[in-house]
Amino acid sequence: MKKNLDRHNLPFTVLADENFEYFNKYDVERSYGKLFSAIIFKVHRFFLAGIKGYLPVQFKGYVDIVPVDVLINEEGIVEDVYYGESDIADHMPFEKVKLFSQA
């Protein structure tokens, strides 16, 4: 499902799978263990994000999905995929996403 996030001034499109349809199709991991690991070991990141105003106004989907970050170019070709390993806060490095968006 394509999300319109223009209000965030993003230089790229963000896609989401709120109904878990594609995540399920491609066996994306769900793990409460990795959720609790993030809560315990990365609580400071969540706290700092909250202070900066990054609080979800409306939450949809699942909280236990291990991240899968996919960079898809303008031709629809997958350029890079990052599978979270340690916990639900494990994402592709932002600098990599930024460089991709500027290409």
Task: Tell me the three-class secondary structure of 10-32, residue by residue.
Answer: CCCCEECCCCCHHHHHCCCCECH
User: By the 8 A CB rule, do 47 and 34 touch?
Assistant: no
Is residue 56 situated within a structural domain?
A: yes
Q: Is 49 helix (H, G, I), strand (E, B) or coil?
A: helix
Give the range of the structural domain holding residue 35, as residue numbers without chain letter: 12-102
Is residue 5 situated within a structural domain?
A: no
Is residue 1 situated within a structural domain?
A: no
* Predicted TM-score (pTM) of this structure: 0.66
pLDDT in tens, 57-74: 666 677 888 888 999 998
Query: Is a pLDDT exceeding 90 seen at residue 18?
Result: no
Q: Phi and psi at residue 40, in whole multiples of 5°?
A: -75, -50
Is residue 16 situated within a structural domain?
A: yes
Is residue 3 situated within a structural domain?
A: no
